[in-house]
């Protein structure tokens, strides 16, 4: 399953991307996470449906202790690139 997530809230400057990577690595999720200019965080994630659902639940609760997620937009994307791992992009 391949999805993209756009996360808004207090998600920049609180370690959100790095904690997202740690959780993705723990679950075996492939993809990437990056900050957007408007203050959101953008994520592309690839994995089994069960693991993606677990990952989405973690993201919705904010993997960063000082982060706060106000809204998550989730879209299926079957044409995302195949990632070899999960990376933090700048």
Set 34, 35, 68, 79: catalytic member: 35
What distance in Å separates the CA atoms of residue 26 and residue 50, rounded to the nearest whole number?
A: 14
Told to judge if 17 belongs to the known catalytic residues of this protein, a careful annotator would answer yes
Set 17, 50, 68, 89: catalytic member: 17
Told to judge if 50 belongs to the known catalytic residues of this protein, a careful annotator would answer no
Q: Which residues are catalytic?
A: 17, 35
């Amino acid at each position: 399953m391949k999805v993209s997530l756009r996360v808004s809230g207090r998600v920049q400057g609180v370690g959100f991307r790095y904690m997202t990577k740690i959780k993705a690595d723990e679950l075996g999720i492939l993809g990437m996470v990056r900050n957007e200019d408007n203050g959101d965080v953008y994520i592309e994630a690839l994995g089994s449906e069960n693991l993606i659902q677990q990952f989405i639940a973690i993201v919705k609760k904010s993997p960063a202790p000082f982060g706060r997620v106000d809204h998550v937009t989730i879209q299926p994307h079957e044409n995302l690139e195949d990632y070899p791992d999960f990376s933090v992009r700048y």
